[in-house]
Structure formats: C-alpha cells, structure tokens
A and B are shown apart, each in its own frame.
Chain A
C-alpha cells in the first residue's frame, strides 16, 4: 500500500525509542526491549510501542491545491519527564506530540459510576476517595501544539535547538524559528525568495541546528552549497558567516552537474566539529573550519554517473537520500538503489554495501556484503548495474545514538540491524 511507504526514521536521544513516519500521515513508535533473563534473545528487540495518525490530507481551497499528509520529518525532543515529546511535520504544518504511558486508573468516583454514567447527585449520601488500580499499559499520543500557517512552500527540515526551547523549520525558500511554547508566531531568519520568481535558480534543501552552539545553524542548497549562519550577528540571517562549496571538477562537467550536486541532506557530527552532506552520487564530510572543500568524499554509487540521462528521464535523479553518523562519529551510512545501503568507516577507510531485503536478512544471521559489477566480467554473486531495481530505494536510515544498531527503511518495510554480541 502506498500509504505505508516510510518517509522518515528517527531514534530518540537514548535510542530506546525509534519513530517512523509514513506517506499516510501515520507515526509508529518502536520501543527497545529491556534485558530479560527469561527471554535472552529478545534483548534489544524493537517492538511497536505506539501508533497514531499525526497528519491528515488537507485541501487548500484558496489555491486549489492538495496538501499531502506524508510525514516529511520527525525530530524528538530531549526527555525531561516521564512523557516523550516529538515534532512531526508534513509539507505545511508542524505538530508537537506528547507520548505518555498510563498504567493505572482511578476507581470509585463520586459523581459517576463504573460505567462512566453520571450519578444522580441527590442520590449521593456519602463521599469516598477514589483509589488507583493497576491496568494494562496504555500508551497515548496527544497533540500538544500545532504550528501552522508559517510556510508558503514545502517544509523539508525541522531541527530542535540545543537550548531545548526553540526549533527551526525550513521550506524551499525560507527558514523560520519557533519557540516550542508559542504557536501563533514564528521568526523568519532566512529568506532567499527573489523579488521576481522567474529569477529563482536555487532553493533550500535542508537545515540543521548545531548540536551545541544554540546560535548556529546550517542550510544546504540545490546548487551544492552550505551556508553556516550565526543568529547573534543579525536578526535576518541572509548573510552567512561561512560558505562551504567544493569547486567543480571541469573534467566531469555535464548537463546534469548541477542536479547531482544538489544536496539532499546535511547532518552535524555528534561532536559538532564536522558536518556531512549527501548529494546524488556521494557523501562529503566537511570540517567546519574549512570552507573551500570537504575533508572526505565517499562515493556511494559512482557507477551511476554514466547513466545520468536515464536517471534524469525516470526522475530518479531527483531522489533525496539522507545520511547519518554513528554515535562516535567514526562511521557514516547512507542509502542507494536496489535496497542497498552503504556504510563507510572513517578510521579504517573501509566501506561496505549491504542489502535490506527479506531474502538476505534472516533473523540473527549476518548480512552478506554485496557488490555491483561496473564493467567487464561479472562475478557469480555480483549484480550488474543494469539489473539494479531503481524502484527499491533506501532514502531514510538512522543510527542508534550510542550502540551499533541501525534502522533502514526500504519502501514500506523497516529493517533493524544490530551488531552481534560475542
């Protein structure tokens, strides 16, 4: 079912919860099982914890346009009490959801009986104190804030600030700053809309707050550039503090050079010293102190470079792949086609291609590395470029903030892989 296509995956700060959003506007949260001596194999398994409908399809009558309910991004808030909070967004509206557990209920009300029916007040002759009784665990999700009507264009990113009080939301042309408590206004901090829309040549593709410096954020563009902005320097951050761009290699220039340079995702490292960008064919790691070029470039599927015309024709060239860091920033991961995903170890410089599919993933079996044959004689277990299935794309992946656990979304299936213990 098309509505089940997963459109975002995100671990919370502890990694105990994993949220997915889908095309149908639903959010499904998985919870990691605690260690249990009687069921040793289930340690670390993720099971469904809560499911709720976050967004519904809407129709903008004024502009005669449908607004999709697809969840573009989910971001968790740091946990402050027993309840969990997350932000989920579609193209136009961001919502703050509270997820809380209820494992007790009150019995012995004065004004209503056990069925919930109101009691006739004239019949009440004595007062009693209701008592709490245990019940089966119920997980409830309730919308606490709705941040609407601030984006004319499609929201592509949300990012919670390290101050835990504000967050940003970015669409194609603007970035807004919100306070989590205030829904009726936001501050516009970036606006790249030209006076004349016909002159538009560049859009915002992703944005993120720095993990530690609450005044700093970055945003990437469709021309392969990243701008780092400091909110202390001016209210409207149209002027950037830093501008990151790698000079183009003239020998590989083609009509598709700009399209494939378009950055689809930008993520700060946990340390805050680096950031990673994903463009169509590669992942680049940038040192925030060096704007002239990335410090690392990792090829995801360079064998597609000679196929760009076909990929332009079938629209695959516009696919937006995400990327993520592991907890120690020593490895990075991103998706590809044919349900392949790639992991790069920054220390050892090794990389591996793995596949997320039922056939190649038996429970508790190891994943076998895959290889794409780019030319010449194809080995037995290699797959040729022309046999790749471009409908099976892994756009969304997430890495546990501490452990070696990864979540990979393959169309409407979620795969969770864990490192073997001993």
Chain B
C-alpha cells in the first residue's frame, strides 16, 4: 500500500490536470490506465473470493477505456505497444472469463437452504453487450489473428518483434502459484 501520492505515474497526474491533451498524450494515458486495470484484475485473484464490486467496477472502467481507445485517431508516431507478445496476452486476465469463473466458483452450488422461489419477472432477453472487447480478450481467441481487428490503431507488426524496452517488472503468469 502506498503512503503518499508521489509515484512513478506522477506524470499521469500532471497530464490529468492539464486542460488540453495531445492525442498521443491522451492515448498513452489511456493505455497506462488499461495496463493498470488489467494488472489489478490479475493480482486480485487469491485464496479468498475476490470482491465482486471491485471486479465489476474495474470491468466497467475497462469497457470505457476500450471504447475510448477505439475512437481515438491514429497518432502520428507509432505508440508504445501495449501488448508485446503471447506472454502478455496471457497476462490480460480476461474480465469476461473472470466473471465467468466467479460465476462457477461462487454460485456453482446454490445453497439448498434458500427455499422460497422468488416470484416475479424472470430476466427478459438481456441487452447485447459490446462483444468486441470481451471477445477479443477472451482466452478462446489467444493466438487468433482476429486480435488484429481489436488493435486497429496499433501497428501489429510490432507484436512479432522483441520489445524495445524491458517491461517494468517481470511478467506474471496468471496461473502460476
């Protein structure tokens, strides 16, 4: 936990307070938020059942970020690639699959002692969720070339190369102990 607010991302705070954003600045800010959010989801899985509220709030934030990134115009310079290889794709604990996992882990065995069948309306046909983000990050599509469609603005040839800069910390595998 952090005591003060001065962090390596203090640049982000300064950018936040600026009135005008350059397209590149805004996009790097959004990408950083994206990275922070995905990191959060990955770290929150532990021996205890995760906080559903926190997951849902991060999920909703991720959806907003994804929508904003899709709308952003392509910047003049190729941006720092956020996803640098297959390893990082496994990093991105897909929110959709997280929520699915929560469903099976928490609700799989409905307690027998919840007896009164509630009356009232069942759910109507649910509104169609934005499919692109969830599907693109879903583990089913890992390694699929369909991912190129998601990163419209990013030069995907960079995905094949070695990263120019080492990642700030060793990548975590979601599934390691």
Contacts and interface: CB of A to CB of B under 8 A. Distances in A.
Contacts, number: 166
A236 B134 contact: no
B27 to A, nearest CB: 13
B136 to A, nearest CB: 14
B61 A256 contact: yes
Size bracket, chain A contacts: 35 or more
Contacts of A65: 47-49, 105
B100 interface: yes
Interface string A138-179: 000000000001101110000000000000000011001000
Nearest to B12: A309
A149 B2 contact: no
Interface string A198-232: 11111101000000000000000010000000000
Given A150-B114, A154-B52, A255-B64, A309 B123 contact: no
A259 B62 CA distance: 12
B3 interface: yes
Contacts of B56: 200-203, 222
Interface in A296-323: 306-315, 318
A153 B52 contact: yes
Given A309-B13, A309-B33, A152 B57 contact: no
A310 B99 contact: no
Nearest to B68: A255
Given A185-B116, A186-B114, A202-B56, A197 B9 contact: no
Given A154-B52, A222-B57, A255-B61, A310 B100 contact: no
**Which 8 pairs, one residue from A and one from B, show the smallest C-beta to C-beta distance?**
A236-B120, A197-B103, A236-B118, A314-B2, A172-B52, A149-B111, A66-B47, A197-B99
Given A185-B114, A198-B99, A306-B17, 14 more contacts: A65-B48, A149-B111, A185-B113, A185-B116, A186-B113, A197-B103, A200-B56, A258-B60, A258-B61, A307-B13, A318-B57, A386-B6, A390-B2, A390-B4
Interface of A: 62-68, 91, 149-150, 152-154, 172-173, 176, 184-189, 191, 193-203, 205, 222, 234-236, 238-239, 255-256, 258-259, 262, 306-315, 318, 385-391
